[in-house]
Amino acid sequence: MTATPSRRAGGRAARKASRAAPLSDAMRPIRPGMEGGRYRPLTDTDMTNIHNSVLDALEQIGLADAPQSGVDYLTGAGAIQGDDGRIRFPRALIEDTIAKANREITLFGRDPKRDMNLAGAKVHYGTAGAAVHLVDIEGKNYRHCTLQDLHDAARISDVLDNIHFVQRPMVCRDITDNYEMDLNTLYGCTAGTTKHVGTSFTDPSYVKGALEMLHLIAGGEDKWRERPFVSNSNCFVVPPMKFATESCQVMEECIKGGMPILLLSAGMAGATTPSTIAGGIVQATAECMAGLVYVNAVKPGHTAIFGTWPFGLDLRTGAMTGASAEQALLSSGCAQMHKYYGLPGGAVGGIADAKLPDMQAGWEMMCSNVMAGLSGLNMVYEAAGMHASLLGFCLESLILGDDLIGHAMRCVRGIEVTEETMAVDQIRQVCIGGPGHYLGTDQTLARMESDYVYPALGNRMSPKEWDENGKPDLIANAIARKEQILSNRSAARFDPMVDAEIRRRFNIHLPA
């Protein structure tokens, strides 16, 4: 019989071995879905005032341009179409919708361990967007992005602990046919990760083919409907206060097919929303509320994420900026309104205006990511990899984003205050007749892994060690990590029979 050394008896070697072993999920210092909400940019009065403004806007201004099917659904639910064609929403209809909407949302992964529950102030981070460039970091170059780039982004995200979902971050510009592009986008993402995937269909007629592919992947329509692992991002409004006719029709098809909906209102402060932060929040909230009425009119209780995505604008130039301080406030304020309603919601965080993953990118990405998390935003979209105000996606930045988001998540976890953590007894033991320091105490060792987050690529060496180690470069290390991930066989690949059947029915542009 071999004696198993106990933790204490084994000394340094045993402690080292124990440290090298992966932590159980319960012990991990951070995990998806930690509760935020300690940052509240709005007072209670602010929230009530915003809510009342939202009700006013919906009742008095309403939304134009609903498709006829939408007009029928909405007026059937109690909305009123005016002579000007706008759909207006009585206050009681909004209050009813808030009360009845589904707030017990789980977004499923192909792997059930990767499901995300969006209750309360549980926070998740992931990719999103529709970048048209890949940032080629070695050439400092922006080039058209491809299906392969998208698939690589999904594969990389699949192995990064702190990327919790993969909404398609790039447009496949190497596919010219829109239907093939949408279907290959779906394939490229889902074949790369078993985490929840988000995508967006450009035409209502494309949804049928997409569902056919999803049924194949799931192993049947019933299995798909039981655990839909792909959601559709619907830009259902053209701000200010107009329905996006075609996107609404896509939405109706997705709802019928059992696909969760991200109700996405993407205004720009000073262009398509008021220039004030409060005005941006009011309008985005009003628009998403109209969308929520719509979804619940099509199918009561259908899974919908309240996607208030107002963006910032550089008012000097009229150009988009996704990285401003105003952006961080817009998203955090929206998150607090989601909590006010108790509705699962999402907004943007983590976008850089910087073209490359430099110091500017670091500060921009952290600011909105940590504030979104602290405000309890359920879904932080665009959280990693996104540069040039959404125009470029960078795989190395995605990898570094995993460290950045882990850092933010530790902040979201917050401060545990208990008798044990306040540690007066420990202070006493150390100070009075004790060693006069806390190094190596049981309490310190016990906290080393359960309480502290360590960066994977972030460098904590002293200048001396750093020099002796050849001054490791952050970007070079991110490139190496990317190459290592992409050289491995993906664990998310489909069963070969399923894959063959998909390829038989659809023109898949990725090599098998």
Quote the DSSP letter at residue 58: I
Alpha helices (H) in 191-244, listed in sequence order: 207-218, 221-226
Rank residues 202 and 360 by Cβ distance to a second copy and give the closer one: 360
Rank residues 46 and 111 by Cβ distance to a second copy and give the closer one: 46
- In the region spanning residues 119 to 138, those forming contacts with a second copy, defined by CB under 8 A, are 133
Exactly one of 92, 432, 497, 512 binds a second copy (CB under 8 A); that residue is: 432
Rank residues 252 and 382 by Cβ distance to a second copy and give the closer one: 382
- In the region spanning residues 264 to 323, those forming contacts with a second copy, defined by CB under 8 A, are 270-279, 281-283, 314-319, 321, 323
Cα–Cα dist 72/247, whole Å: 16
Quote the DSSP letter at residue 224: H
Rank residues 179 and 438 by Cβ distance to a second copy and give the closer one: 438
Q: How far, CA to CA in Å, does 265 sit from each of 3, 101, 250, 284, 324?
A: 62, 18, 15, 6, 19
Does residue number 144 form part of the binding site for a second copy (CB under 8 A)? no
Instruction: Name the segment binding a second copy (CB under 8 A); options: 147-155, 186-194, 251-259, 363-371.
Output: 363-371
Exactly one of 35, 358, 499, 501 binds a second copy (CB under 8 A); that residue is: 358
Does residue number 162 form part of the binding site for a second copy (CB under 8 A)? no
Instruction: Name the segment binding a second copy (CB under 8 A); options: 70-78, 110-118, 437-445, 504-512.
Output: 437-445
| Backbone torsion region of residue 466, taken as left when φ is above 0, otherwise alpha when ψ lies between -120 and 50, otherwise beta | alpha
Exactly one of 5, 8, 11, 19 binds a second copy (CB under 8 A); that residue is: 19
Does residue number 452 form part of the binding site for a second copy (CB under 8 A)? yes
Exactly one of 77, 115, 438, 510 binds a second copy (CB under 8 A); that residue is: 438
User: Per-residue contact track with a second copy, 395 to 424, x per CB under 8 A?
Assistant: --x--x--xx-xxxxxx--xxxxx-xxxxx
- In the region spanning residues 21 to 50, those forming contacts with a second copy, defined by CB under 8 A, are 38-43, 45-46, 49-50
Exactly one of 14, 130, 159, 430 binds a second copy (CB under 8 A); that residue is: 430
Exactly one of 426, 456, 480, 503 binds a second copy (CB under 8 A); that residue is: 426
Cα–Cα dist 165/181, whole Å: 21
3-state secondary structure of 330: helix
Sign, CA torsion 467/470/476/481? negative
Shortest approach of a second copy to residue 241 CB, angstroms?
Answer: 5
Closest by CA to 156, choosing from 426, 397, 383, is 397
265, burial (CB in 10 Å: exposed 0-12, middle 13-18, buried 19+): buried
Instruction: Name the segment binding a second copy (CB under 8 A); options: 4-12, 111-119, 208-216, 453-461.
Output: 453-461
Exactly one of 328, 377, 383, 384 binds a second copy (CB under 8 A); that residue is: 328
Closest by CA to 282, choosing from 122, 60, 125, is 60
Q: Measured in whole angstroms, how far is the alpha carbon of residue 499 from the centre of its chain? A: 27
- 461, 474, 379, 364 alpha-carbon torsion, rounded to 10°: 100
Rank residues 213 and 335 by Cβ distance to a second copy and give the closer one: 335
- In the region spanning residues 61 to 120, those forming contacts with a second copy, defined by CB under 8 A, are 61, 64, 84, 86
Does residue number 53 form part of the binding site for a second copy (CB under 8 A)? yes
Closest by CA to 215, choosing from 197, 204, 200, 227, is 227
Closest by CA to 134, choosing from 363, 422, 355, 447, is 355
Give backbone dihedrals phi and psi of 287, rounded to 5 degrees, phi first.
-65, -45
- In the region spanning residues 173 to 232, those forming contacts with a second copy, defined by CB under 8 A, are none
